[in-house]
Amino acid sequence: MAELTYRDAVAAGIAQEMERDERVVFLGEDIAAAGGVFKATVGLLEKFGPKRVRDTPISEQAILGAAMGAAMTGLRPIAEIMFSDFLAVCWDIVANEIAKTRYMTNGQITLPLVIRTANGAGSRFGAQHSQAVENWAMMIPGIKVIAPAFPADVKGLLAAAIRDPDPVLFFEQKSLYSMKGEVPDGEHVDELGKAKVLRHGSDCTIVALASMVHKSLDAAAILEKEHGISCTVVDVRSLVPLDTQTILSEIGKTGRLFTVEENPRLCGWGAEIASIAAEECFWTLDAPIIRITTPHIPLPSADKLEDATIPSVERIVREIREKMD
């Protein structure tokens, strides 16, 4: 095992797959010479050269148009959209072209491509550079949606995404880039569509994603130590495919469900999980499902205001304790 930062795990996952398969190419703004605006791709240009690691113009439509064309002709491109907010600029290509091509060609054309992007708040970048938009992606048929919380998952899930025959949107939570964790040495490939149970409890089940996983684990420790409330914590990791089997199984064991979501409340991914749980686990639920989310507002850039908006450890503890009384 090696200890890597979340950002270094990104580079490690890309390098692993570029070494394995010469069809893997990488393109995006400032990803080559600069090593990425978040320094998540340092060393790739030097290792694989400018033909396979290419800086692009500042045009999200050009990046994804080129990646789609490359995938159609036999390559396996990785395209970086610097901030997930900028997916709005090229959403037509994502939602109407990349997502639909296999279906509309009756399987004659597949698009094995990965769109990487930095997602979410925590870095004080304001309303146009801090959105958590994974719920935008999960409602488009034809795209797989991944959001890892730990460096080992970054490397393993990124490798799996690159090997997948269909398009994958890979959301990297930008506030996690500096966190460290153990990552398996050598080739490491995870499985898309599998949630992980990180903590077992008997009183309630917390379902979380990306940076909210870490806050949920911290909150669960406080709840048990200070309030005697035992929490299961599930890291969703993959929104599409969604591991309903693991999630529903853990809800069934405790009878109570809390989702912790960074995305705005309206139409967040937790609403879908709550809907599935209400339908599939109705008779085992002991209380209403509670969603702990960001309000439906543009994110502020001021540090205290951003912290007050995004679910915090204190807020998770407070809301679960109040609902468990």
* 193 within 8 A of 139, measured Cβ to Cβ: no
For CA atoms 17, 13, 34, 36, the dihedral sign is positive
Q: What is the DSSP letter of 179?
A: -
Helix (H) or strand (E) holding 228: none
Maximum separation of any 2 CA atoms in the chain, in Å: 61
Active site residue 129: yes
Q: Which of 129, 188, 214, 296 is catalytic?
A: 129
Give the whole-angstrom CA distance, residue 141 versus residue 209: 20
Give the whole-angstrom CA distance, residue 210 versus residue 147: 6
Give the whole-angstrom CA distance, residue 129 versus residue 96: 24
What are the helix and strand counts (H, E) for the chain?
12, 14
Q: What is the DSSP letter of 94?
A: I
Give the whole-angstrom CA distance, residue 282 versus residue 288: 10
Angle at 216 between CA 211 and CA 221, to 5 degrees: 135
Give the whole-angstrom CA distance, residue 311 versus residue 105: 43
What Å distances lie between residue 79 and 45, 69, 116, 156, CA to CA? 14, 12, 6, 18
Residue 150: CA count within 13 A, CB half-sphere: 20
Helix (H) or strand (E) holding 182: strand 180-183
- Residues taking part in catalysis: 129
